[in-house]
């Protein structure tokens, strides 16, 4: 029999993060969201709790946990707010994890203690204005010049890339020609503040308004040759591995949003009255909430299954793609239904439901579009 219950350790973590999201995030996030202000105080508190170090070895300042612990924390945060959740998700899976997976011991010692503390955030510079789903079309280049790499190009939609505590961006860049005649792509660590690194103003976004997302320009940015992350020419394979794991975490985020819609709708259905009774007594509303709960649970089981195979060291590309597809669909559908249940209040930014509605769409796009997930699933089926 499959047991989807959390271990005692993961359940304790879930309860801690649930309380933190309820008591620390919920009271302040609405104002931060509407002002498009980055939640520095919340991030600092998450750092003090050890959330940014959950899956990393204790010798680097981590908590010695596993990747699933990050997913549990991200889901609970997303039940209240996705901007905070994605700041943690990106800081761990995209910012610190590439260094943990592929860095030299010197690189790990230099960066991971600060990243695990949450006092410094890392970003992953993959997407470009003309290279999103087709990341192999990257045009950013890195040319070796003596003891330096010289990086020229641009990156787009990079999370955590321009905050006051951003410490580095790991950049994918074309460093030569591969054996098959294609582009050899490598990953290189670029410290924040490097001369020639231009950080744009934050994007004006539909959702995730309290998270940091920017475009980056690289005007002959020089970094030491020792900033190469992993093997030369293996950057494409490295980022595929990072995104495969990241899909599980972003699925947890989508599941949290879907569950948050259920939570809010259930409370409102018991409070709001029409025709002399709570709206939850009307079958149309009750059935809608029942469907929402079914979607959230299905999404959770999907990402649990992907995480289980990941932690066992088994191939999990198909499972992570299914989890991402199912959970992002659940988030969109539940956000729409929750807005309908709230009626006019659902169209008001005074309620979290409006924030959920705005945040849900990007989950069908970020870290691999729904179309890419279907392509991956089909490929895994042999098509």
CB 232 within 8 A of CB 185: no
CA dihedral 192, 228, 145, 132 (to 10 degrees): -70
- For 90-111, b/e burial (b = at least 16 CB within 10 A) is bbbbbbbbbbbebbeeebbeeb
Report which secondary-structure segment, H or E, holds 220. Answer: strand 213-224
Q: Catalytic: 367? A: yes
357: nearest Cα among 157, 206, 205, 203: 206
Q: At which residue do the structure tokens 């249940």 appear? A: 341
Give strand pairing partners of 223: 149
- How many residues would you count in the chain? 383
Give strand pairing partners of 128: 131
Distance CA 372, CA 248 (A): 15
Distance CA 153, CA 175 (A): 12
Q: What is the CA radius of gyration of the chain?
A: 21
- For 247-277, b/e burial (b = at least 16 CB within 10 A) is bbbbbbbbbbbbbbbbbbbbebbeeeeeeee
Residue 197 main-chain phi, psi, to 5 deg: -85, 115
Distance CA 111, CA 107 (A): 6
Among residues 215, 319, 364, 367, which one is catalytic? 367
Residue 79 main-chain phi, psi, to 5 deg: -65, -20
Distance CA 172, CA 98 (A): 11
Residues belonging to the active site:
367
């Amino acid at each position: 029999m499959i047991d989807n219950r959390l271990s005692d350790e993961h359940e304790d973590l879930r309860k801690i993060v649930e309380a933190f999201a309820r008591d620390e995030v919920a009271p302040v996030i609405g104002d931060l969201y509407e002002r498009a202000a980055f939640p520095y105080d919340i991030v600092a508190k998450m750092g003090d709790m050890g959330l940014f170090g959950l899956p990393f070895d204790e010798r680097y300042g981590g908590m010695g946990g596993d990747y699933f612990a990050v997913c549990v924390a991200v889901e609970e945060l997303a039940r209240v707010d996705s901007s905070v959740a994605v700041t943690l998700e990106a800081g761990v899976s995209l910012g610190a994890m590439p260094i943990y997976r592929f860095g030299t011991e010197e690189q790990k010692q230099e960066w991971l203690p600060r990243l695990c503390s949450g006092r410094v955030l890392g970003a992953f510079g993959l997407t470009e204005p003309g290279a999103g789903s087709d990341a192999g079309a990257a045009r950013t280049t890195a040319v070796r010049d003596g003891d330096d790499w010289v990086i020229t190009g641009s990156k787009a939609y990079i999370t955590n890339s321009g905050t006051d505590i951003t410490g580095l961006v790991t950049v994918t860049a074309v460093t030569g020609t591969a054996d098959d005649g294609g582009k050899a792509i490598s990953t290189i660590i670029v410290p924040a503040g490097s001369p020639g690194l231009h950080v744009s103003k934050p994007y004006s976004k539909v959702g995730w308004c309290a998270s940091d997302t920017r475009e980056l320009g690289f005007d002959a940015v020089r970094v030491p040759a020792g900033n190469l992350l992993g093997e030369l020419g293996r950057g494409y394979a490295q980022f595929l591995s990072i995104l495969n794991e990241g899909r599980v975490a972003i699925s947890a985020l989508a599941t949290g949003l879907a569950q948050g819609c259920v939570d809010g709708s259930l409370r409102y259905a018991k409070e709001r009255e029409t025709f002399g009774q709570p709206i939850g007594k009307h079958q149309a509303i009750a059935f809608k909430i029942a469907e929402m709960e079914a979607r959230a649970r299905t999404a959770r089981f999907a990402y649990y299954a992907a995480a289980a195979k990941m932690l066992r060291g088994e191939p999990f590309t198909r499972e992570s793609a299914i989890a991402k597809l199912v959970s992002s669909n659940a988030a969109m559908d539940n956000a729409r239904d929750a807005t309908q249940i709230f009626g006019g209040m659902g169209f008001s930014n005074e309620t979290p439901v409006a924030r959920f509605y705005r945040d849900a769409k990007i989950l069908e796009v970020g870290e691999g579009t729904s179309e890419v997930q279907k392509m991956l699933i089909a490929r895994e089926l042999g098509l």
